[in-house]
């Protein structure tokens, strides 16, 4: 069964770059690695997904090494409004024909002034 590991919490300051890494093994070979953001009292919100190497959008970058055993979400120049919980989402390698989604337990990011 696929397993994910993320740091429970991280602290940063406004204007810094923040990198959050998720380790994952036994993940589906041909599926995406996806990251979500969740604010208090809200549902998770899709941020970014990739298959390999690097993906960038207006919010974040996602780095995935060739072995796909980890992924790193990079938030450039964070602000107070980036304080949230960040989740990685992968698929299980051994799920057969039916995809099984595996959610990380989340990393609580606190951005300080």
Question: Is residue 55 a contact partner of residue 48, using CB atoms and an 8 Å limit?
Answer: yes
Helix (H, G, I), strand (E, B) or coil at 17: coil
Min dist CB 98 to another protein, Å, is 7
Selected binder of another protein within 25, 26, 44, 61 (CB under 8 A)? 44
Got the DSSP string for 21-57?
EEEEESB-TTS-EEEEEE-TTS--EEEEEESSEEEE-
* 42 in contact with another protein (CB under 8 A): yes
* 34 in contact with another protein (CB under 8 A): yes
* 46 in contact with another protein (CB under 8 A): yes
Closest CA to 89 of 33, 43, 37, 49: 33
Q: Which of residues 86-105 bind another protein (CB under 8 A)?
A: 87, 89, 91, 98-101, 103-105
Min dist CB 4 to another protein, Å, is 9
Q: Which is nearer to another protein, 78 or 88 (CB)?
A: 88
Question: Is residue 89 a contact partner of residue 50, using CB atoms and an 8 Å limit?
Answer: no
Binding interface with another protein (CB under 8 A) = 31-32, 34, 41-46, 49, 87, 89, 91, 98-101, 103-106
């Amino acid at each position: 069964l696929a397993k994910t590991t993320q740091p429970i919490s991280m602290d940063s300051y406004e204007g810094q770059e923040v990198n959050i890494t998720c380790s994952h093994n036994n993940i589906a070979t041909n599926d995406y690695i996806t990251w979500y953001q969740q604010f208090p009292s809200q549902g998770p919100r899709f941020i970014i997904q990739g298959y390999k190497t690097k993906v960038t959008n207006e919010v974040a970058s996602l780095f995935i090494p060739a072995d796909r055993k980890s992924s790193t979400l990079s938030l450039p120049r964070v602000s107070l409004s980036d304080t949230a919980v960040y989740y990685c989402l992968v698929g299980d390698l051994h799920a057969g024909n039916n995809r099984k989604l595996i959610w990380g337990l989340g990393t609580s990011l606190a951005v300080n002034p």
